[in-house]
Amino acid sequence: MGYLWHETRQAFPLIFDGKSGIGGLLWVTVRVAVISTSVALVIGLPLGLALGLGRFRGRRTLQLLANASLALPSVVVGVAVLMLLLPQAQFGSLRWEFTIKGVYVAQTILALPFIVALTAAAIQGLPPGLIGQARALGAGRRQLSALALREAKIGVLAAVIAAFGAAISEVGAVIIVGGNFEGRDQTLGSALLAQFNYYGNVPAMIAIGIVLLAAILVLMGLLTVLQQRGGGIHLRFRTA
Q: Helix, strand, or coil here: 116?
A: helix
Residue 95, CA distances (Å) to 12, 45, 105 in order: 39, 29, 13
Is pLDDT above 90 for 228?
Answer: no
Is pLDDT above 90 for 31?
Answer: yes
Compute the distance between CA of residue 82 and CA of residue 8 in angstroms, rounded to an integer.
Answer: 37
Higher-confidence residue of 73 and 228: namely 73
Give the mean model confidence (pLDDT) for residues 132-150.
84
- The proportion of the chain whose per-residue pLDDT surpasses 70, expressed as a percent, equals 95
Q: pLDDT tens, 50-76?
A: 998 887 888 889 999 999 999 999 999
Compute the distance between CA of residue 235 and CA of residue 88 in angstroms, rounded to an integer.
Answer: 52
CATH architecture of 2-228: Orthogonal Bundle (1.10)
pLDDT confidence band for 167 (50 / 70 / 90) = very high
Contact 233, 146 (CB under 8 A): yes
